Structure 1
Amino acid sequence: MSSTLQDLVNRAVFYSTEVQTHFGALIADAEWEVDFSSDPHLTFTSADGAVLRTRPHLLGSESDREKTWLWGWENVNDFPDAVVGLSHDVRKFGAAEGVTELTTAELSLDEELALRLTLAAKEATGKWAHYPAAAGAGTTVWLLVDAAEIALPAPQVKVSVRALMQGLTQTTVSDHLAAIESYVAKRGIPTAELPEGGLRMLFADGCADLSFDDQRRISNCDLNEPLEGEAAEQFAAADSTGTPTEAAAASRTPGATSTSATEETAAPSTTTPSAPTPTPEEEPSRTESQPVDEPAAEATPAAEAQADEAAEPAAEAADASPEQKRSEDEQARAGEPVEPAEEKTPAAEEPAKETKPKKKGLFSKLFGR
């Protein structure tokens, strides 16, 4: 059975949102650098010297100047297969599912496209963290990130409800019910049916009762904790089957151990990667990157939505515009420093301004929004 890009976004959005929030807690206030050699790594170093070394996979890049997305598998920079290999897997998945956006080398850009393609790639590959990095000249490189430390802890009712509400603010979700069914399957969260098509999500620390309108959108969310009464009996009955526990274990990174959602875990220190010095007059290509020396964004609370708020209906999905041809000046050139993704607008600001624009929170930065 074939899928659409929207189907993949629906299936990925809530689980991705929870992972991104957890990932953000691990790297808050950290400086980072990336190496696209045959041993690719994206390294985060905190102020106290703790190092988290992750494995990046280059998905693609978006250019504000050209208003296009270019898939990593097109590989105009001749990166090693270790860097772009996973993007080829996304292309193969897209071919098998009939998703043309995953098999077209270059796509016309809109505000949400890069994030939506990244969500689809997560569903295709099972790599659930991503990092958007600014590469200069209005280009942002989108990476999938793999590390044992990113594995999620056991589900908690407030964390999961927050992931649902925040996920709806990130992009268009056309079928909330289908998206939630995909999320609970990935997280191993048992559920129970409620009257009039409602759904109860069951957790060890509480439950969330969801209502839906006639378009399968969330119309109300009632969060209850601690777990008691009928919900406690339903959770005990589901837990006795062993299914939730097994599904939750399967949703984690192999070999990973549980950590608190706010606990900052770091891998052992590693040697800082080196790279050739960039030539000043040369312009960056779409997918280049070199080590950076700028700090990551200030730590801000990743979860701003109240866990017990009801979700508002999402906007209708926007169609991707027609494919554009790549201009000649977009061919590969020597590297430029990669800087943390701050805004989709040019980095330069007018010095005379009295009030500086408000910085994005870490959660928004990690989503590239």
Structure 2
Amino acid sequence: MSKKHTLPDMLDDAALLSLEHQIHLEEFLGEHNWHVDLQAARFEFTGERPLICERFHLLGSAAPGPRSWMWGWANPSGFPEELTALGAAVRDFGRDNEIPELADPEVPFATLPGSPEEAHLALHPLTEAAKLLTGRWFSYNGDAGGGTRVAFIIEHPDLRLPAPVSTRVMRILQEGISGLRLFDHKRAVYTYARLRGLSPRFVDAERSGITLGGADFTFEVSFDEHNRISGIEGNLSGASTTG
């Protein structure tokens, strides 16, 4: 019998690669403003680096009044189907795998991992799950008024990660440990390395560590008995470093 999918596992799987994409997006855009016209299907950034997204997807919105998330496909405003189809695909996965947070039209904040209190925190887990399930990793959320936050997946050929380098991978690992709510560090690191093409391997039968690497670097990430990261050691083109 295959292991049942759970939302916490999906969040660990998405966490580090999503973080790297969001850092890259922030650096790419710089200071900016955003504008969206849902009926005209137009999403653009203005500012240091103007960009009109070739495609974008409305995932949903998190509102402080009802303290709930509503998926775009369920919104009574009736948005164009092409904008909500990606969220509907996530819904279908949720139904097939009995994950109510992905399948139900409206999701109370209190039922989400960590029971977030604020809208910008409540949209995070469902956006992360959508990224993992669809393989589209750039997201953006903005103020829709009254404290409501609306979440999108955006696409453009200029938005792609460069080849992995040691300094960026180390930053992602360190910031992921310190700044993200990870349920299982070991799972998060292994999945990140696999999705990023870093050839992860367990160092022993007890899976006490993972090696991963790129063209000019290798890291070994070690874990304690609770699967928390206990150390990072690396070789960078002949030099060594410890994190």
* Aligned counterpart, 2:140: 131
Q: Residues 99-150 of structure 1, C-alpha deviation per residue, up to 9 Å, x if partnerless?
A: 1110111122132432111111111111101111101111000111111112
The answer (yes or no) to whether the contact 1:207–1:227 under 8 Å persists in 2 is: no
2: distance between equivalents of 1:44 and 1:124?
Answer: 26
Shift of 1:165: 2.5
Structure possessing the higher relative contact order (Cα contacts under 8 Å, 6 or more residues apart) = 1
1:211 and 2:213 aligned: no
Q: Residues 272-318 of structure 1, C-alpha deviation per residue, up to 9 Å, x if partnerless?
A: xxxxxxxxxxxxxxxxxxxxxxxxxxxxxxxxxxx964xxxxxxxxx
1: distance between equivalents of 2:173 and 2:124?
Answer: 17
The answer (yes or no) to whether the contact 1:45–1:52 under 8 Å persists in 2 is: yes
1:77 and 2:77 aligned: yes
In structure 1, the gaps of 5 or more residues are 230-306, 310-369
SS at 1:14 equivalent? helix
Shift of 1:9: 0.4
CA spacing shift, 1:106–1:169, aligned 2, 3 Å: farther
Runs of 4+ aligned structure 1 residues displaced above 6 Å come to: none
Choose between structure 1 and 2: higher strand proportion: 2
Q: Residues 182-218 of structure 1, C-alpha deviation per residue, up to 9 Å, x if partnerless?
A: 1111111123443562112112232222110112111
1: distance between equivalents of 2:167 and 2:219?
Answer: 9
Q: TM-score, normalised by structure 2?
A: 0.86
Bigger radius of gyration: 1
Query: What amino acid does structure 1 have at the position aligned with 2:24?
Result: H
Q: TM-score, normalised by structure 1?
A: 0.58
Structure 2 matches for 1:41-56, cutoff 5 A? 41-47=42-48, 50-54=49-53, 55-56=55-56
CA RMSD of aligned residues (A): 2.1
Shift of 1:84: 1.2
The answer (yes or no) to whether the contact 1:12–1:120 under 8 Å persists in 2 is: yes
In structure 2, the gaps of 5 or more residues are 110-114
The answer (yes or no) to whether the contact 2:5–2:97 under 8 Å persists in 1 is: yes
2: distance between equivalents of 1:52 and 1:167?
Answer: 28
1:8 and 2:7 aligned: no
Structure 2 matches for 1:88-99, cutoff 5 A? 88-99=88-99
* Aligned counterpart, 1:28: 30
2: distance between equivalents of 1:213 and 1:170?
Answer: 19
1:201 and 2:177 aligned: no
1:182 and 2:191 aligned: yes
CA spacing shift, 1:172–1:66, aligned 2, 3 Å: same
* Aligned counterpart, 1:120: 129
Structure 2 matches for 1:152-167, cutoff 5 A? 152-167=161-176
SS at 2:60 equivalent? strand
Shift of 1:79: 0.7
Shift of 1:93: 1.2
Query: What amino acid does structure 1 have at the position aligned with 2:52?
Result: R
CA spacing shift, 1:192–1:68, aligned 2, 3 Å: closer
The answer (yes or no) to whether the contact 2:12–2:183 under 8 Å persists in 1 is: yes
1: distance between equivalents of 2:32 and 2:85?
Answer: 27
Count of paired positions: 229
The answer (yes or no) to whether the contact 2:11–2:128 under 8 Å persists in 1 is: yes
Q: Percent identity?
A: 32
Q: Residues 134-174 of structure 1, C-alpha deviation per residue, up to 9 Å, x if partnerless?
A: 01111000111111112111111221121122234454211
